[in-house]
Structure 1
Amino acid sequence: MSDHEDLGIIRPLTLAWASRQLEVGERIVRAEVLHGGISAEMRRLTIAMPDGGTRDLVLRTFVDVEHAEESLEREAGALAMLPGTGVPAPRLVAVDPTAAQCEYPSLLMTHLAGRTVLEDEGLETRVPLLARQLVAIHALRPAQRPRDYVALTTADTVVTPTGADPAAWSAAIDMIRKPAPPYEGRFLHRDFQPGNVLFDGPAGADITGIVDWASTSWGPADLDVAHCSVNLALLHGPTWGLRFPGAYEEAGGVLAAAPSERLYWLVRDALASSEEVQLVSRPWREAGRTDLTTRAVEQRLDTYVTTLMHTLG
């Protein structure tokens, strides 16, 4: 979603920097806020071309975000690597990760057609598409391996929802106190979920782009699958989160062989979401899912974690 604004929403140094990245005779004529991001400001820039046509770019700016330089360098590296791989993603135009020329660390990239689709309608069609796309991402073998995955959540930082099943949550928290199981490394998007996937076509039947590559890393395919699973559970109900690993395997993906190892990754990412319920539900409501109050999302998370522990634990 977007609200039309003028160029005043772009900070002067950043606007000047973005203008220097254009082709001869081009100029920025319009800017609008793109909603849905959590950590970054997103702006869509309309570029007037000498032949009278226009094209669009997207400006991504991290304002007072910890580790912004590293995040933008990771994203720039991923965007530079993805062309020709078959994975639809924006193309990198320019990046200023240290804010040497902009007010804040910024990245300029091409704009992709399509939109995020967060409503329940058509989910039966979209879930297999998500699974196939994630399998394709995990098949990538970059010349330079990204950093190893980072799991920021610990047993001591989990936020148990009010009214949650105490036994299930206690068992889940105890599970992530244990060392991570062994895994075969894969290239991970690390934030693959419906909010970072663009759809187009009838009822959103085609994926046109994957965005937000700032957390790319190397780790188990199970972790990306777990992240998409919990987001599906919170957006559309716990049943959809439980179904996604199967959809991933049906698309040709390979997960951990042992059920206990699969459960570890599913639980780890589910518990990570407990710390961000209020943060992640806000952009969903801004996108029109007003039913996803913080409390509603907490209840879905509790049901999802409890079901995982009762059926797989």
Structure 2
Amino acid sequence: MAVDEGAEHSSGRADDRGWGATRGWVEKGLSGAERIEDVAPLRGGWTSEMRRLDICGRDGRRSLVLRSFVNPFYVRHAQGLLTREAAVLRLLDGTGVPAARLVAVDATAQHCDHPSLLMSLLPGTVRLGDEGADRRAELLAHQLLRIHRLPVTAEARPREYQAWTSPERVSPPEDTDQPELWQRAVDVIRHEPPEYQACFLHRDFHPGNVLFTGEGGGLRISGVVDWVETSWGPADLDVAHCSTALALLHGVSAGMDFADRYVAAGGTLAEEPAAHLYWRLLDALAFAPDAEKVAVPWREVGRADLTPALLTRRLEGYLHALCARYT
């Protein structure tokens, strides 16, 4: 995902190392009078290397975002991930969902140093502070519902969702004093997935992938980014993912409230509490033991308070609250 806030600028020339071929690929797609004037690394993500490219030409200036997979694991999966994101960005164009516009993609690094996707720059910034979190959560619930309601033809449907953990892969904290809680939660996801009504999922919808503009009554969502995991599956799973992130960012009550906000906005979730609990725990347990994968980018954009100890404590509290409410 791209975070414009806190970007570190560097000259286009000085930033040539490691992406010379990719830069050439970008420049070939520009109009004859345009050139890359400035390059700024974008912080806040962990799956890919992000750059903002400032372009100047006779018609003025514009900015683009370049996503490149450089980690060997993501390079191996880049063709599927970037091809999917490119297809989703095309699908979303004109729908009213505030997503970037696709400019170009080289999912197999045929022309680039690394598998890359080029897209328009969205306005706004990621906002992860506790102040104003309730109002942002309301906007998140309404935005997620609009995503779920997108009409998608059978031919355009993304892949079926994939679970991000399994009972044997869950890693409880080594020093937990609640082993029975973890065992209880893991036992829930040992069951077969409940039946569900499928819809279009972002699949990685959380505050770190949403951009905001304005303040107070003028606060608005200006962009939703990072569509590489887009899937077809239960709305409960998208709601679960955002709920876990809110619990980790702002406390257990924030995570518990999000499903209620989604339903109040008009969304529909599993009627059976046990079915809803399954999806909530399937997501939450993937963050065990300390949510470090999301904590690193969150700290980079200002949440230095999110220590492993705090996140583990919040995750355990969230598991306890889920089991207490839905069983």
| Shared fold (TM-score, shorter chain, > 0.5) | yes
- CA–CA distance in 2 between the matches of 1:113 and 1:244? 25
Match for 2:271 among 254, 257, 266? Answer: 257
The residue aligned with 2:169 is 157
Equivalent residue letter for 2:61: T
**Aligned partner of residue 280 in structure 2, secondary structure:** helix
- 1:164 to partner: Cα distance: 4.7
Q: Deviations over 1:184-240 (max 9, x none)?
A: 111000000000000001147100000000000100000000000000000111110
Q: Cα offset for 1:33?
A: 0.5
Query: Who is 2:222 aligned against?
Result: 208
How many Å separate the matches in 1 of 2:158 and 2:231? 5
Q: Is the 8 Å Cα contact of residues 135 and 253 (structure 1) preserved in structure 2?
A: yes
SS of 1:146's equivalent in the other structure is coil
Report Cα offsets for 1:40-91 as digits up to 9, x if no partner.
Answer: 000000000213x211000000112131110001100010110111100000
Q: Do residues 270 (structure 1) and 280 (structure 2) align?
A: no
SS at match of 1:9: coil
- Among candidates 103, 117, 121, match of residue 111 of structure 1: 121
| 2:228 paired with 1:220 | no
Paired residues, number: 312
Q: Displacement of 1:5 after TM fit?
A: 1.5
Question: Structure 2 CA distance, aligned partners of 1:301 and 1:132?
Answer: 25
Gaps of 5+ in 1: none
Q: Which amino acid aligns with 2:255?
A: G
What aligned pairs does 1:24-103 form with structure 2 within 5 A after superposition? Answer: 24-51=32-59, 53-63=60-70, 64=72, 65=74, 66-103=76-113
1:113-152 C-alpha deviation (Å, 9 max, x unpaired): 1000000111121111000000000011223111000003
**Deviation at 1:275?**
5.7
User: 2 CA distance for matches of 1:198 and 1:179?
Assistant: 36
- The code of the aligned residue for 2:191 comes to K
In structure 2, runs of 5+ residues without a counterpart are 1-5
With the length of structure 1 as denominator, give the TM-score of the two structures.
0.97
Q: Deviations over 1:268-305 (max 9, x none)?
A: 10001116711211111111111001221111111101
Equivalent-residue separation in structure 2 for 1:278 and 1:84 (angstroms): 36
In the alignment, the residues of structure 2 paired with residue 187 and residue 74 of structure 1 have an alpha-carbon distance, to the nearest angstrom, of 13
Deviation at 1:23, TM superposition (A): 2.3
The normalised TM-score by structure 2 is 0.93
Say whether residues 1:189 and 2:202 are aligned partners.
Answer: yes
Identity over aligned residues, as a percent?
49
The answer to whether structure 1 residue 9 and structure 2 residue 15 are counterparts is: yes
What code does the residue aligned with 1:168 have? Answer: L
Aligned mates of 1:75, 1:164 — CA distance in 2: 41
- Please give the alpha-carbon distance, in whole angstroms, between the structure 1 residues aligned to 2:65 and 2:181: 43
Aligned to 2:3: none
* Cα distance in 2 for residues equivalent to 1:74 and 1:81: 10
* Structure 1 contact 2–33 (Cα < 8 Å) conserved: yes
Aligned AA for 1:187?
F
In the alignment, the residues of structure 2 paired with residue 83 and residue 116 of structure 1 have an alpha-carbon distance, to the nearest angstrom, of 22
Moved more, 33-42 or 134-143: 134-143
Runs of 4+ residues deviating >6 angstroms:
none
2:261 aligns with one of 234, 241, 247: 247
Would the alpha carbon gap of residues 164 and 118 (structure 1) be closer, same or farther in structure 2, given more than 3 Å must change? Answer: farther
Check conservation: 2:289, 2:312, Cα contact below 8 A.
no
